[in-house]
Structure 1
Amino acid sequence: MDAKIKVYESECVDCRSCMKGCPMLYSFTISPKKLLTKFTTELPSSEMAYACANCGLCAHSCPRDIDFGAIFTASKKSYAEDKKVLKKYGYGGVIFHQKSSFSKLFSTTKKFTTGEYTHTAFMPGCALSSYSPSLVHTVFSYLQSKCSGMGIIQQCCGTPTRMMGDMAQFQMYHSQLERDLAYMGATTVVTACENCFMSLKTYSPHIKIISLYSLLAQIGLPEEAKERHIHSPKMALHDPCPTRYEKEIHEGVRTLLAQIGLPYQEFKQNREQTLCCGSGGMLELTHAALAKEQMRTRAKQTECESIVSYCQSCAESMSRGGKNGVHLLDLIFNPHFLMKQEEQSVLKKWYNRFSSRQKISALKDNT
C-alpha cells in the first residue's frame, strides 16, 4: 500500500472530485494531495480511518482512479491489531452483534431434498430478518413456489467485523457461513442484502451469487402485486452503495418498480454515482454525528417525502434522516403495508430475528 500511495500522490491533481458527496473528507482536509503526501510517511489517524464509510464514491469520482477508501481500509486492518483502538470505536458492540448473529439462537439453515433448486439457498440477511420475520417468510414462500427445492439460511455475512478491519475474526465468521452453505449443498445463494451480495461475491468466488431483485425481475411478481401502487404518492429511489457497480441489480429493481406501478424519481446521484446513506462502514458506531449528518444530507436531496430502497439499513437511514424510508419488498409482498415502517427498538429487532429463526426451523421438507 505504501508504494500505491506514492503513485496516488504523484497522480493526484487536487481537483477535489473525491470530496464531493463524501461524508468525511471535508472534516479532515481541503487538499486531497496534501493528505496523500502525509500518508506516504504515516498512517491515517485512527479517527480518520474509522470515519470512512467505505462507500467507494471517492474512487468512482476521481479522474485518476485514486482510492482513499482502500487506504483507510488498509489502515483499519493495521489498527485492528490493537484491541484498545477497536474498543475506542465501539468494537464491543460489534463483538456482541456478531457472536449473537452466529449463535444458534439467531441463525439456522433449512435445506430441502426434492425440487430443481435444492442447490440454491435464499439468504435474507440480518437487517431484513430483524425488521420483519413475516416479510422474510412471505418472500421465501413465493421463491419456493417458483423455484422448487430452494433452501433458506439465516446467517450473518460478517460484514460488521470486516468493516472494523478485524480480518482474522472475519475469516472465522466467513468460514462458518461457508460451512453452513456446504452443509446445505448450496452452490448458489440468492441474497436480499447488498452487503451479503458483495461479501460473498468477493470472498466466496466459487459460489454463484444472485441478487433477489435480479431473480424477481426474471421470474416475475405475484399477480396481485402488479400495478398495486399506480395511485401511490411518488417516491425517490435510493441505490445502496455496496452494489454501486452491479448494473444488473439496478436494472432489476427498476423493472420491479415498473411492474408494481410505483411512481418514482431518481436521485441526481444514483446507480454507480449513488451516495452513502450514512450507515456504511459501521459509521453509526464509530462516528455517530457524522453518520447522522450524512443521513440528513442524503434525505434532503429529494423533495419526495418517501424514499424507497432495496436495503433495509438504507431504508432506516432515510427515516433517521428525516424522510419516510420504505423497503421495496414491503411494496411487493405486503398488501397491508401502510407505507411507513414501524420504529423498532434494538430489543424488538433481536426478538424479530429469533422469530424469523423459529419460522425457518418450523418449515417442513417437501419430501
Structure 2
Amino acid sequence: MAKTEETKRVFIPGCSLPSYNPEAVGKTLEFLQEKLSGVGSILKCCGKPTKALGQVDKFKERYKGFQAEIDKLGAEEIIVACQSCYLTMSANSPQKVTSLWALLPEIGLPEEAIGIGKDSDITFAIHDSCSTRDRKDIHDGIRWIIDQLGYDRVEPPHTKGTTMCCGFGGMVVPANPDLAQRVMEKRTSEVETDYMVTYCAACRESMVKGGKKAVHILDLIFGGPWDSNSEFPGVPGNPVKGWVNRYKSKREIKKALK
C-alpha cells in the first residue's frame, strides 16, 4: 500500500498486469499522477479468484482486509486496470470505481504515444474481456486509444458484447488445462490477422497460447512502435517470473510515489 500526501484516488493495477509488465504499471501510475491530483496505489489481490473457486466466506474475509486498506488511504475513487477487479470492487466497495480504459479518453494519452503506430504494417485484432462484455464505455475507450496511437485495428466475428472467453476464466487453467487450451485455440482461430491486442494480461497470455502474437494495450501506449519485425512477448516459462515481476511492480509503485 502506498499513499500520496492527500490521496483522493487509488490506482489498483490488479494481479495479472503486475505479473506481466512492471514498467507499464509504474508508467501508468506516473501518468495518472501527472493528470490527476492525489493518486495513491495499492498492489494487492481483490480476492476474485477465491470467490471463483466457491470459497465465499474466505473471499468476504479477504475483501474486508482489502477494503480496509482502501479506506485507510482515504480515497474517494478507485481506478482499476483489471476487468475482474472492476466488477468485484463495483459490487463490494462504497467508493466510485473507474476503469482505466474509460478514463483515458477523458484525460488523454501521453503526447509521445499519439500517432506512434501510424507507420506500422500491423493490423491488430481486439480481444475484449468477457467479464465486461456489457460495458460499452470500456469497449469505446479501448478503440479510442488504438485510434489515437495510430494502429490499424479489426474486429473479430465475436467482439464487444459477444466476445468469447480467452480460456482463463473461472480458474479453468489450473482445473482443466486441456479444456483451457481448446478454448484459447477456438478464440484465436476466428481471427485472420497474426496480431492481437488485449487489455487484460491473462487474456494476452491466452492469445499467445492460442498461436497469436499478442500485446497488452499498455505495451502499445508505453512501448513501440510495434511492427512485423518487433519481438513480441511470449509466455513466462514458470510462475517464478510472475512473482519476480510483482516484486518489481511494487518497486515501480514506490518509486512513482516518492
Which residue does the alignment assign to 2:3? 111
Pick from 130, 133, 153 the counterpart of residue 19 of structure 2.
Answer: 130
Q: How does 1:285-304 map to 2 (within 5 A)?
A: 285-304=174-193
Question: In 2 relative to 1, CA 181–240 (structure 1 residues): closer, same or farther, beyond 3 Å?
Answer: same
Match of 1:222 in 2: 110
1:71-128 deviations in whole A, cap 9, x for unaligned?
xxxxxxxxxxxxxxxxxxxxxxxxxxxxxxxxxxxxxx111114xxx22100111101
Report the alpha carbon displacement of residue 339 of structure 1 after superposing the two structures with TM.
5.6
CA distance in 2, matches of 1:182, 1:151: 12
Aligned residue number for residue 254 of structure 2: 361
Q: Distance in 2 between matches of 1:342 and 1:239?
A: 20
Match of 1:170 in 2: 59
- Which whole-Å CA distance do the structure 1 matches of 2:218 and 2:43 have between them? 17
Gaps of 5+ in 1: 1-108
Is residue 124–residue 154 contact of structure 1 (8 Å, CA) maintained in 2?
A: yes
1:318 deviation in Å?
0.3
| Pairwise CA distance, 1:301 | 0.7
Distance 1:272 1:359 in 2: 34
Distance 1:270 1:167 in 2: 31
Q: Any idea what SS the aligned residue of 2:132 has?
A: coil
The alpha carbon displacement at 1:335 in A equals 3.6
Could you tell me the TM-score, scaled by structure 1's length? 0.67
SS in 2 for 1:242: helix
In the alignment, residue 4 of structure 2 is paired with which amino acid?
F
Partner of 1:17: none
Identify the match of residue 213 of structure 1 among 101, 107, 112: 101
1:150–1:242 CA distance, 2 compared to 1 (3 A): same
Alignment of 1:304-323 (within 5 A): 304-323=193-212
How far does the alpha carbon of each residue in 1:20-74 deviate from its partner, in whole angstroms, 9 at most, with x for none? xxxxxxxxxxxxxxxxxxxxxxxxxxxxxxxxxxxxxxxxxxxxxxxxxxxxxxx
Q: Which residue of 2 aligns with 1:24?
A: none
Q: Number of residue pairs matched?
A: 253
- The alignment partner of 2:42 has SS state of strand
Q: Cα–Cα, structure 1 residues 336 and 247, in superposed 2: closer, same or farther, change >3 Å?
A: closer
Distance 1:339 1:207, change over 3 A: farther
Structure possessing the higher relative contact order (Cα contacts under 8 Å, 6 or more residues apart): 2
TM-score by length of 2: 0.94
Q: How many percent identity over aligned positions?
A: 37
- Asked whether the 8 Å contact 2:8–2:76 carries over to 1, the reply is yes
Q: Calculate the aligned-residue CA RMSD, in Å.
A: 1.4
Q: Which protein shows a greater Rg?
A: 1
